[in-house]
Amino acid sequence: MALKPEHLKHAKAALKSMSAQREKRLTRADFVTGLIKDIHAKMTAGFSLDEICAELNKTLPDGEQFKVNTFKTYVRRARTQAGITPTRSWTRRTGPAETRIQTVPDKGRTNGQKEDPASDFRDQGGDL
């Protein structure tokens, strides 16, 4: 069976109407990404993410509301994608961690002779 040029016209028209009919659904991550500048502005104004999440949940339908931890994850990802720095530093470390080096007395070595690296590991019952 040979197709006629009018079939091509009908197929193109069907494809055009199909793309116009379907509405793209917004994921919750996309929802937060679209609001990240407003969310960041509220955080800068002193609101916590818990308060912002509660306020946004009032506008969403029952099945689509955010849990606070999920919302925080989406905000962190959206902030990273948008290049927005956090409003405060989350680390409590004030400087680099202090390293503790224990010296091992010489075990009959002469100066310049290195210890066998295999002696640093304990025998754990198998080949390393």
pLDDT digits (tens, 9 = 90+) for 33-73: 999 999 999 998 988 999 999 999 999 888 888 999 999 99
Burial 38-59 (b: 16+ CB within 10 A, else e): ebbeebeeeeebeebbeebbee
pLDDT tops 80 at residue 13: yes
The answer to whether residue 51 is domain-embedded is yes
The answer to whether residue 42 is domain-embedded is yes
The confidence score (pLDDT) of residue 105 equals 59
The confidence score (pLDDT) of residue 53 equals 92
Helix axes 68-82, 28-44, angle to 10 degrees: 80
Domain around 62: 24-82
Could you tell me the pTM of the whole model?
A: 0.53
The confidence score (pLDDT) of residue 84 equals 84
The answer to whether residue 125 is domain-embedded is no
The confidence score (pLDDT) of residue 21 equals 58
The answer to whether residue 48 is domain-embedded is yes
The confidence score (pLDDT) of residue 22 equals 63
One-letter amino acid at 77 equals R
pLDDT digits (tens, 9 = 90+) for 83-120: 888 777 665 656 665 666 665 655 555 565 555 555 55
Residue 76 CA to residue 109 CA, distance in Å, equals: 54
The answer to whether residue 74 is domain-embedded is yes
Cα angle at 27 between 26 and 31, to 5 degrees? 75
Structural domain count, the chain? 1
The confidence score (pLDDT) of residue 72 equals 93
The answer to whether residue 7 is domain-embedded is no
The confidence score (pLDDT) of residue 25 equals 80
The answer to whether residue 77 is domain-embedded is yes
Higher pLDDT pick, 2 / 100: 2
